[in-house]
Structure 1
Amino acid sequence: MTAPRVLVDGLAFGESPRWHDGRLWLADWGAGEVLTVDADGGTEVVARVDGLPICLDRLPDGRLLVVAGGAGRLLRREPDGVLTPYADLRSLVAHPWNEVVTDARGNAYVNTIGFDFPAGEFAPGAIALVPPDGPPRLVADGLAFPNGMALTPDGGTLIVAESYAARLTAYDVAADASLTGRRVWAEISGAAPDGICLDAEGAVWYGDVPNRCAVRVAEGGRVRDRIDLDRGCFACALGGPDGRTLFLVVTEWSPRALAGGPRTGQVRTLTAPAPAAG
């Protein structure tokens, strides 16, 4: 693979990249913004959000779901751009909520690391299910800093990165959208997997902040590709016209970045060996 090129520079703290409708969508946590990025690197602010962290996915009708993590809320972006309340998660867990992924039935899975980061004392995290026709409920717990999540194209398996356990963990998705059959999908010694995406060959790309790299790993743990970087990689996404563009969201990690400190955040791109799953 060729070295990644810089598509966007000057972000405070980029996270949660998603490809949709010919553009990359991502959050800039340090600025409290949701952005879109075009093929030339031009950016547009499409929403402003209070309550870090800010993570994104979409409902089947295309409307954007946005986690306002510190506020414990899931928001929905309407066609006119207005963010409206979608689910209140504060009654489930009082700590900030993090990553979100949705399925074709309109179910949203949202995770919480289980403690106040970066200053709080570690406690296990959990995953909540927000169904389209009922109240949210917890469907998994006991996770060591749950981070990026991805669903297989058939919607039958949910994969979650456990950043503090150096592994990717998988669940079977039941007919009622609950999670069962917890198992280790890949042990990754020495790694701290963060944001993830799944490719058409069944491999997972994950970002790694302390090891300053992005890694492609197969089920079972075999590393298939690795991209070394000069700063931490917080998340990966596959997209582009043919699904083969790998987007890497990178930042020089510092707690100050959460408050809009040194703007070392970038989006970098390169051609991946396999397109996006599905």
Structure 2
Amino acid sequence: MSKYSLEVVVDGFHYLEGPRWHKGALWFVDFYTQGVYRVNDEGVAEKKVHIEQQPSGLGWLPDGRMLIVSMKDRKVMRLEDNGELVVHADIWQHCAGHANDMVVAPNGDAYVGNFGFDLMGGADYKSAGLVLIKPDGSSQLVAEGLAFANGMVISADQKTLIVNELFGNKISQFAINEDGTLGDKRDFASFGELGDEPNLGVRIGNAKILPDGLALDAEGAVWIADTLNQRAVRIAEGGEILETIDTAPEGVFAVALGGAEGNTLFMCAAPDWDEAARKAETKGRMLAVSVEVGHAGTP
């Protein structure tokens, strides 16, 4: 029997992503209601922002304004203090597929991944890059050759970016340069190279992990949403699996560490990530469990 006791935070959604603990509250997005939500003190999820082209990663600038990835039109939106929603950056030229997850550094630099190919349309796999967006909205490509960059975190000393490669069977990391650009990619944890295999089904069949969301803890380990195996997994640098939390029969697709003490692991759960099925049902929910080691880094 698992030592973990799962609790339901909110349910009745389609497909949750982008969980963030910010200023004492849990935030997340629901792809198919096009909503950004905040859980209030009564435990009710309130829709705060509508993103017509599907929201994904969330973050905040140093002055408190929120950034939101708008997936299908490959933009990052900014919520102004007066409630106006404006374009912070248009990154279409840097993306070969939907814009995806994002992490915003304490200095306002934002790193955004993208699919790299038409995942939901059944296209062959292709690698993709990472985009750096400066606080003034200017953008540039700062890394290439990632196997579907997904969840990202920045270390507590702000010197390292850690990023999941969803279809790469690995978690990678980069040194962050003074200007926000990235050094060479290196492994944080690799479970075997998958090469340039274009067939996504073959890639998934050869993978041991499918790392989606990502959270960093105070011991330097990461929690991932292992979508392949219906679990959350805590992994040390180098690849040792330290802990697992089984969520079967549901999959878990994003994670975040937060809560009052920083040791609540939030998990976005759903039956699968099939777009048509998730749009048709409201089986997405947020789970939570207490873990021993608390949050570190950003987000």
Which category describes the TM-score, using the shorter chain as reference length?
A: over 0.9
Q: For 1:3 and 1:31, how far apart are their aligned partners in 2?
A: 29
TM-score by length of 1: 0.96
Q: For 2:124 and 2:20, how far apart are their aligned partners in 1?
A: 31
Gaps spanning 5+ residues in structure 2: where? 192-206
**Could you tell me which residue of structure 2 aligns to residue 37 of structure 1?**
39
Q: For 1:22 and 1:163, how far apart are their aligned partners in 2?
A: 29
**Could you tell me which residue of structure 2 aligns to residue 210 of structure 1?**
228
**Could you tell me which residue of structure 2 aligns to residue 148 of structure 1?**
151
Q: Deviations over 1:45-73 (max 9, x none)?
A: 00010113522111111211000011111
Q: For 2:262 and 2:124, how far apart are their aligned partners in 1?
A: 40
Q: Does 1:238 align with 2:238?
A: no
* AA partner of residue 208 (structure 1): D
Instruction: For 1:113-262, list aligned pairs within 5 A.
Output: 113-119=115-121, 120-133=123-136, 135-188=138-191, 190-230=208-248, 231-253=250-272, 254-258=274-278, 260-262=279-281
Determine which of 274, 285, 289 is the counterpart of 1:270.
289
TM-score by length of 2: 0.89
Q: For 2:221 and 2:277, how far apart are their aligned partners in 1?
A: 30
* AA partner of residue 216 (structure 2): L
**Could you tell me which residue of structure 2 aligns to residue 57 of structure 1?**
59
Q: Deviations over 1:142-177 (max 9, x none)?
A: 011111011001110000100111110000000111
Q: For 2:102 and 2:277, how far apart are their aligned partners in 1?
A: 22
Q: For 1:42 and 1:93, how far apart are their aligned partners in 2?
A: 35
Q: For 1:39 and 1:140, how far apart are their aligned partners in 2?
A: 40
Q: Deviations over 1:19-68 (max 9, x none)?
A: 01111000000111000113553110000101135221111112110000
Is 6-15 or 129-138 further displaced after alignment? 129-138
The answer (yes or no) to whether the contact 1:13–1:257 under 8 Å persists in 2 is no
Q: Deviations over 1:161-220 (max 9, x none)?
A: 001111100000001111113101012460000010101111100002221000000000
Runs (4+) of structure 1 moved beyond 3 Å?
none
Q: For 2:109 and 2:85, how far apart are their aligned partners in 1?
A: 19
Q: For 2:88 and 2:136, how far apart are their aligned partners in 1?
A: 11
Q: Deviations over 1:219-276 (max 9, x none)?
A: 0001111001121111110111111111011111122245x22111111111111110
**Could you tell me which residue of structure 1 aligns to residue 28 of structure 2?**
26
Instruction: Assess, with a 3 A threshold, how the Cα gap between structure 1 residues 103 and 31 changes in structure 2: closer, same or farther.
Output: same
Q: Secondary structure at the match of 2:32?
A: helix
The answer (yes or no) to whether the contact 1:32–1:54 under 8 Å persists in 2 is no
Instruction: Assess, with a 3 A threshold, how the Cα gap between structure 1 residues 257 and 13 changes in structure 2: closer, same or farther.
Output: farther
More strand by share: 1
The answer (yes or no) to whether the contact 1:58–1:65 under 8 Å persists in 2 is yes
* RMSD of aligned Cα (Å): 1.4
- What is the percent sequence identity of the aligned residues? 37
Q: What is the CA-CA distance between 1:94 and the residue it aligns to?
A: 4.4
* AA partner of residue 159 (structure 2): G
**Could you tell me which residue of structure 1 aligns to residue 80 of structure 2?**
78
Q: For 1:268 and 1:40, how far apart are their aligned partners in 2?
A: 16
Q: Secondary structure at the match of 2:132?
A: strand
Is 181-190 or 12-21 further displaced after alignment? 181-190
Q: For 2:226 and 2:234, how far apart are their aligned partners in 1?
A: 11
Aligned residues: 277
* AA partner of residue 76 (structure 2): L
Q: For 1:263 and 1:124, how far apart are their aligned partners in 2?
A: 31
Instruction: Assess, with a 3 A threshold, how the Cα gap between structure 1 residues 10 and 117 changes in structure 2: closer, same or farther.
Output: same
* AA partner of residue 85 (structure 2): L
Gaps spanning 5+ residues in structure 1: where? none
